[in-house]
Structure 1
Amino acid sequence: MAVSSVRKVCSVGATLGEGPVWVGREQALWFVDIKQQRLYRFDPATNGLTSWDAPSQIGWVLPAADGGFIVGMQRGIERFDPATGAFATIVKPEPHLPGNRLNDATTDAHGRIWFGSMDDAESGVTGHLYALDSGGVRHAGLDPVSITNGPSFSPDGRTLYHTDTLGKVIHAVAVNDDGTLGAARAFATIEEGAGWPDGSVVDSEGCVWTGLYGGWGVRRYAPDGALLETVALPTANITKLAFGGPELKTAYVTSARKGLDSAALEAQPEAGDLFAFEVDVPGLPVTEVGTLES
């Protein structure tokens, strides 16, 4: 696949930039800085960057069909109103795990939210994958890991990709007709020295893209798990990619300064910034979150 050269599109300096999502109704990119507890909106038409402070660590943001936004935070899943900057709690999925926080999420074709949790200390095996719709929160039935990441779906919705970051493996899971999941199988394993798989997203050919934390780039895998290509980035900690632009052919990439010492930060002055490159295979439009009230 043809890929253009990487460019920096916005200076952010995020400690842990994450969760980019293209909001088609606005033609804008939303993303978060988890550790700085900040929510961002980037407008490519003006190069404008708007931000809001969140009341706790914020792992992801998704557009809702009612025109608002749903966010996942350490304290739970909440509604966000950009006009007022207000947050309102919907549900607290893990009140029994105060050391956990919510980390990454996506929607399926039905508008359900699939989201994961993780141990904020990145040591305990307490991260779980869940689904949320009008029936409430339900456990996805997969084994726990320390850091869940990158839930994403194949174009036909029949396969869920779920990342065990510390285990360095992306799993593929069959999705049943009723929305339950089958058994997980290893889809792609990241070799030693290549970083850790972070957030994932699927393009219109069914290929899986993953950020490589500590790996200086993003990778694209074929539906059968074969590695197709690697796109190098100018900083080590690459977190997640989202397809945006009018034709969904601009790949926006978030990055992080977290874990970099002063020497590394001096060598990587763009760490934590937002990058982009063009592709000739477009991404898939994001399904807005449907009704969550029962």
Structure 2
Amino acid sequence: MFMTPECVAPTGCTLGEGPLWSPSEGFLWWVDIKRAKLHRYNPRTGNTRRYDLPIRASTLALFDGNILMAGEREIGIYDPATEAYERLRTLDAEPISNRTNDGGIAPDGSFWFGTMDDAQKVAQGNYYRYTSDGKLEPLRLPSVMITNTFQFSPDGSVFYTCDSVEQEVLSFQHEIGTGKVTDRKVLANTFELSGYPDGSAVDSEGCLWTCLWDASRIVRLTPDGEIDRTITLAAPRPTSLTFGDEDLKTLFITTARAGMSFPQLDSRPLSGSLFAVRVDVPGLPPREFGKARE
């Protein structure tokens, strides 16, 4: 099945990332990492709003009416109503050249996220787990160049992540509560698709929708790693996605224009925009930091 999404917000982000659906507000939030901006889209009106951030945030999560975010080498809370930011923790052990990248909320309510070399030259990206009691601990996973995808199966027993440079979508067995991950497997290799796996989202059937950077597409992977659906985009660099709207059947997709030449941008002018497409299988309700899902 092939689907074509429409551009709903031509924001021209350099590196759009971290889409987050807020059910209580009915808003879609996302960031432009390189420009240190937070964007908001209201699907009821089509209106957008942009906020200046004190850090280059890369991933977002719901937290007690505010937004938990990781950016640069720290974790903090942002209140869009007051535009106030509060730093919670710093990543003191991280190399100065590293920054945070993708992240997500685990079934137990902890915040998982990764780091990467901002220059993309050294494989020194690490994985972390941050709990509601302020505990920050590294996850025992190999260092990679670019950490992407922090998703869990509906029952929480499987953790999905990506080694983007190696073009591999990975799965691990996950122990809820302890955060222990074991039994590394390659769910899918994206080399033949000419794309690099980036951000992902899991639907209610347990399938993983994954963005393929430089391939202008998103693929839906079954738990066995088979591709059963494909979305083609008017932008070559999709970065991440999430489910939204009341029925969780709208797939919102962020994109980037970073690294594209002027001729490429002339031919793909919607690069960096927010896209949306209706799907027939709903996503999972977004998890909130500090709240375990029964």
Common fold by TM > 0.5: yes
- Counterpart CA distance in 2 for 1:95 and 1:262 is 38
Q: Which amino acid aligns with 1:114?
A: W
C-alpha offsets along residues 182-219 of structure 1, whole Å, 9 cap, x if unaligned? 13211111024521100011110000111111010101
Aligned to 1:54: 53
Partner secondary structure for residue 259 of structure 2: coil
- Counterpart CA distance in 2 for 1:99 and 1:171 is 25
- Counterpart CA distance in 2 for 1:93 and 1:159 is 26
C-alpha offsets along residues 89-120 of structure 1, whole Å, 9 cap, x if unaligned? 11112444111111011102221111011110
Aligned to 2:270: 270
Cα root mean square deviation, aligned: 1.4
Deviation at 1:32, TM superposition (A): 0.5
C-alpha offsets along residues 121-155 of structure 1, whole Å, 9 cap, x if unaligned? 01111101111102511111000001000110000
In the alignment, is residue 37 of structure 1 matched against residue 25 of structure 2? no
- For residues 1-294 of structure 1, the aligned pairs below 5 Å read 5-64=4-63, 66-133=64-131, 134=133, 136-177=135-176, 178-192=178-192, 194-290=194-290
Are the aligned partners of 1:22 and 1:29 in contact in 2 as well (CA < 8 Å)? yes
Partner secondary structure for residue 121 of structure 1: coil
Are the aligned partners of 2:37 and 2:53 in contact in 1 as well (CA < 8 Å)? yes
% identical equivalent positions = 37
Are the aligned partners of 2:193 and 2:215 in contact in 1 as well (CA < 8 Å)? yes
Deviation at 1:260, TM superposition (A): 0.5
Distance 1:67-1:144 versus aligned 2 partners, 3 A rule: same
- Counterpart CA distance in 2 for 1:185 and 1:138 is 23
Structure 1 moving runs of 4+ over 6 Å: none
Are the aligned partners of 1:56 and 1:75 in contact in 2 as well (CA < 8 Å)? no
- Counterpart CA distance in 1 for 2:140 and 2:183 is 9
Q: Which amino acid aligns with 1:173?
A: F
Partner secondary structure for residue 264 of structure 2: helix
Are the aligned partners of 1:257 and 1:265 in contact in 2 as well (CA < 8 Å)? yes
Are the aligned partners of 1:5 and 1:278 in contact in 2 as well (CA < 8 Å)? no
Partner secondary structure for residue 116 of structure 2: strand
Partner secondary structure for residue 275 of structure 2: strand
- Counterpart CA distance in 2 for 1:179 and 1:77 is 19
Are the aligned partners of 1:142 and 1:184 in contact in 2 as well (CA < 8 Å)? no
- Counterpart CA distance in 2 for 1:243 and 1:94 is 33
Deviation at 1:4, TM superposition (A): 5.2
- Counterpart CA distance in 1 for 2:3 and 2:219 is 15
- Counterpart CA distance in 1 for 2:155 and 2:162 is 19
- Counterpart CA distance in 2 for 1:125 and 1:94 is 18
Are the aligned partners of 2:3 and 2:231 in contact in 1 as well (CA < 8 Å)? no
Distance 1:75-1:135 versus aligned 2 partners, 3 A rule: closer
Partner secondary structure for residue 36 of structure 1: coil
Partner secondary structure for residue 52 of structure 1: strand
Distance 1:52-1:95 versus aligned 2 partners, 3 A rule: farther
Deviation at 1:179, TM superposition (A): 2.5
Q: Which amino acid aligns with 1:221?
A: L
- Counterpart CA distance in 2 for 1:75 and 1:138 is 14
Partner secondary structure for residue 263 of structure 1: helix
